[in-house]
Amino acid sequence: EVQLVESGGGLVQPGGSLRLSCAASGFTFGAYTMNWVRQAPGKGLEWVSHISGSGTPIYYTDSVKGRFTISRDNVKNLLYLQMNSLRAEDTAVYYCARAPYYYGSGSYSFDFWGQGTLVTVSS
Amino acid sequence: DLQLTQSPSFLSASIGDRLTITCRTSHDIANYLAWYQQKPGKAPKALIYAASTLQSGVPSRFSGSGSGTEFTLTISSLQPEDFATYYCQQVNSYPLLTFGGGTKVQIK
């Protein structure tokens, strides 16, 4: 059974840092691209970052470039999101999501998601 | 930037109703669109990829169609467990993805 379990969220002051983790099990972790997606309270979904199975390439949404760093450990089956210089607008539930490539259609989807971890940036 | 516009934003419906949600994109994305369902306090669940292909385990009352700039998610007969918020997602510019604003389906 595929499982993704996020941890590391919490309350942090503006300008502070947090590192989120996503523990993966039930599949060959290194074979899959992984993503972080966030959802501000009462708002919609926002893609944050992507990392390929090998660790490169990496991509970020513009609002987090230079502040967030995505990484992975394919031995420990862990995905990370290091978040620095946090702002109030980064307050959200952060989800990790698996993104398989569907060879038949040449398309993608986020087929499994973790339960999310809440990050609150406030003084 | 590629924009996704879902309509309606809110929808009231009854059990057994046929329901259609529309997702329009600002640029032609062929069939590179996915749909998700999210219930309050829960993670999104994948429903459809490549505009019309059901994810494994998704009930057949769900269907997707469209290509280019207009897409639809249809629920043929609404069930109690279908009351949720639905999101479309373009994957044409993968990995730089965007989601639609969501459609909340409420009980009438």
pLDDT digits (tens, 9 = 90+) for A43-96: 999 999 999 999 999 999 999 999 999 999 999 999 999 999 999 999 999 999
A109-121 burial code (b ≥16 CB/10 A, e <16): bbbbbbebbebbb
Q: Nearest residue of A to residue B43 by CA position?
A: A115
Q: Nearest residue of A to residue B48 by CA position?
A: A109
Q: Closest approach of chain A CAs to the CA of B34, in angstroms? A: 6
**Per-window interface: A 48-67 vs B, CB < 8 A:** 50, 59, 61
Tens of pLDDT, residues B39-95: 999 999 999 999 999 999 999 999 999 999 999 999 999 999 999 999 999 999 888
The Cα–Cα gap between A103 and A109 comes to: 12
- The two beta strands, B62-67 and B85-90, are unpaired
When CB atoms are compared, the residue of A37, A106, A109 closest to B34 is: A109
Alpha-carbon separation of residue B19 from B13, B65, B73 (angstroms): 8, 13, 8
Q: Closest approach of chain B CAs to the CA of A118, in angstroms? A: 11
In chain B, which residues have their Cβ closer than 8 Å to the Cβ of A109?
Answer: 34, 46, 48-50, 55, 89, 91
Cβ of residue A73 closer than 8 Å to a chain B Cβ: no
Flag if B55 and A111 touch (Cβ within 8 Å). Answer: yes
When CB atoms are compared, the residue of B32, B43, B101 closest to A116 is: B43
Look at phi and psi of residue A8 and say left if phi exceeds 0, alpha if psi is from -120 to 50, else beta: left
Q: Over 90: is that where the pLDDT of B96 sits?
A: no
In chain A, which residues have their Cβ closer than 8 Å to the Cβ of B36?
Answer: 45, 110
Output DSSP code: residue B82: G
Give the CB-side neighbour count of residue B10, counting CA atoms within 13 A.
4
Q: What is the pLDDT of residue B1?
A: 81
The Cα–Cα gap between B22 and B10 comes to: 12
The Cα–Cα gap between B83 and B100 comes to: 18
Which tokens sit at A26?
Answer: 């039930």
Q: What is the pLDDT of residue B95?
A: 84
Q: What is the pLDDT of residue B32?
A: 95
Three-class secondary structure of residue B10 per DSSP: strand
When CB atoms are compared, the residue of B36, B49, B100 closest to A102 is: B49
Q: Closest approach of chain B CAs to the CA of A3, in angstroms? A: 12
Residue B11 forms beta bridges with which residues?
Answer: B105
Q: Over 90: is that where the pLDDT of A106 sits?
A: no
Give the CB-side neighbour count of residue B106, counting CA atoms within 13 A.
7
Q: Nearest residue of A to residue B94 by CA position?
A: A108
The Cα–Cα gap between B40 and B58 comes to: 19
Three-class secondary structure of residue B38 per DSSP: strand
> What percentage of chain A has pLDDT greater than the value 90?
93
